[in-house]
Amino acid sequence: MSKRRVVVTGVGLVSPLGNTSADTWEGLIAGRSGVGPITRFDTSQHRVRFAAETRNFDPLNFVEKKEMKKMDFFIFYAIAATREAMADSGLAITPENAEMIGTYIGSGIGGFGVFEREHTKLVEGGPSRISPFFIPASIVNLASGYVSIIHGTKGPNSATATACSSGSHAIGDSFKIIQRGDAVAMICGGTEGAITPMSVGGFAAMHALSTRNDEPHRASRPFDKDRDGFVIGEGAGILILEEYEHAKARGAKIYAEIVGYGMTADAFHITSPSEDGDGARRVMLRSIQDAGIDPTLIDYINVHGTSTPAGDVLETTAIKRAFGDHAYRLAASSTKSMTGHLLGGAGGLEAGITVLAVKHQMLPPTINLDNPDPKCDLDYVAHTARQARVHYALSNSFGFGGTNAALLFKTIE
């Protein structure tokens, strides 16, 4: 029995470059940095004082005021991105089809801001001060839960919390759910809203973040010799995946087809990737094998590319090991150079960006790549966007705990 084909019919993005997919894509192609000084809290005692915040995002555009206290920003972002993706798709959810449409949204951290706020209440006023909405506002699956409630989806409803692979795993799992016939459409992706004092302080304590406080817009510099860590970002990326015949029957606009999904583990270290990039190598090849194509057909990779000293070298090594000589013929770029790293939301955002790259036949650049690391010697589309043939494109996500995901998209035929 042949596998069901699955296509992307809607894209919704909230990012540090804009609160819609159009604004985000425009910022990417212009090579604009979304990084700047943190405005959410007093950073005077912090070692890192900048991040990639969303700008001019008002939750009241998406939820009623009385509902705001029930949610954290990671939920707001998911609701906003889903609204755009659903409108873009034109998918109507009715009593007749609701049970065959599902929701699957990942987040690495969930409601970190709510945890901090409610803990302060506990310390200062005792347990009676804790909000009754504390738990549902903070647990990871409530982004997916709220989206399901708002849109009336009654099919599969799940969430992933696989660190920085969360969004990609949610999309890949949704692809398989449709492929095996358990749904005809899925609202899926990733979301994160973790620019908080404890989160920024925690990642800084690990020496994971860039400390380039004097020039934050230049801080995220994947594959550059002078990189010194990642920049934390926030937002969401939501895709509408749909069974191809279902989408075609209703005359849906189709961005791309999703044809491959890979999952692997490094089994190496709680935060560091394996030294030879083996988990990353295997996950790319698994997604390609899932699609049943030759690795030489890959035209572009939206790489994980976090701007960490070790990670960028290991991803480069993994690409070379996976593709051999073809590694020097394909193009790759890290859009984290502009958006920062959305943690559990990164896979959703970057899958959306990869789909747009396929649709527009345009490669977003890696900015701030001024002094390339000799160990990172692939075509990383430095500085400037590039028009190019993109038939097959990969999106990579790697997370703490050695969890890896890769998604493979292609032009629709």
**Residue 202, exposed/middle/buried by CB under 10 A (0-12, 13-18, 19+)?**
middle
Residue type at 14 in one-letter notation: V
Cβ density class 383-393: b for 16+ within 10 Å, e for less: eebbeeebebb
304 classed as catalytic:
yes
Residue type at 336 in one-letter notation: K
246 classed as catalytic:
no
Domains 7-249 and 260-410 share a fold: yes
Q: Sign of the C-alpha dihedral, residues 251, 256, 258, 264?
A: negative
Sketch the domain layout of the chain as residue ranges. Answer: 7-249, 260-410
Q: Give the pLDDT score at 275.
A: 79
* Tokens found for residue 360: 């527009």
CATH class, range 260-410: alpha beta
- Mean pLDDT per block of 10 residues along the chain (413 residues) reads 89 98 98 98 98 96 92 98 98 97 97 95 96 95 98 98 98 98 98 98 97 98 98 98 98 98 93 87 98 98 97 97 98 98 98 98 98 98 98 97 96 89
Q: Which of 151, 169, 246, 341 is an active site residue?
A: 341
Give the residue from 236, 224, 197 showing the smallest Cα distance to 342: 236
Distance CA 104, CA 78 (A): 11
Q: Give the pLDDT score at 1.
A: 54
Give the residue from 106, 255, 256, 253 showing the smallest Cα distance to 187: 106
Q: In terms of CATH, what superfamily is 7-249?
A: Thiolase/Chalcone synthase (3.40.47.10)
188: left (phi over 0), alpha (psi -120 to 50) or beta: beta
Straight-line distance from the first to the last Cα atom of the chain, in angstroms, rounded to the nearest whole number: 21
Q: Which of 188, 246, 304, 376 is an active site residue?
A: 304
Q: Give the pLDDT score at 289.
A: 98
Q: Which of 151, 164, 188, 246 is an active site residue?
A: 164
3-class DSSP state of 341: strand
Give the residue from 35, 74, 63, 400 showing the smallest Cα distance to 206: 400
Distance CA 263, CA 169 (A): 8
